[in-house]
């Protein structure tokens, strides 16, 4: 019988990871998504809680693209636009 080590994110108990670093990255992404949702909901009161959560998750999941866009490379967002069109 083999023993297999798996890791679980503390914020998402349903997903299992074979690598601790991957579980940590997922946990940090979810933490960022939660904070982004909170900021969006306070900044745009007309957003529902669900809309803010979805937007926060999307932004956190694509943080590298948004980081490029915020660092004077707004064309980086076209990568996301192209993936939505497909």
Q: Provide the domain count of the chain.
A: 1
Q: Which domain range does residue 40 map to?
A: 30-85
Domain CATH for 36 = 1.10.10.710
- Does the residue 41 lie in any domain? yes
- Does the residue 72 lie in any domain? yes
**Residue 32 and residue 53 in contact, taking contact as beta carbons nearer than 8 Å:** no
Distances (CA, A) of 62 to 4, 23, 29, 65, 67: 31, 17, 9, 6, 9
pLDDT surpassing 90 at residue 45: yes
- Does the residue 55 lie in any domain? yes
Mean pLDDT computed over 55-63: 96
pLDDT surpassing 60 at residue 34: yes
- Does the residue 10 lie in any domain? no
Mean pLDDT computed over 33-59: 96
């Amino acid at each position: 019988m083999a023993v297999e080590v798996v890791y679980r994110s503390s914020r998402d108990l349903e997903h299992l990871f074979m690598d601790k670093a991957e579980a940590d990255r997922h946990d940090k992404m979810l933490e960022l998504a939660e904070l982004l949702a909170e900021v969006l909901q306070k900044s745009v009161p007309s957003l529902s809680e669900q809309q803010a959560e979805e937007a926060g998750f999307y932004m956190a999941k694509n943080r590298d693209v948004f980081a490029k866009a915020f660092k004077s490379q707004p064309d980086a967002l076209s990568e996301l636009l192209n993936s939505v069109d497909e």
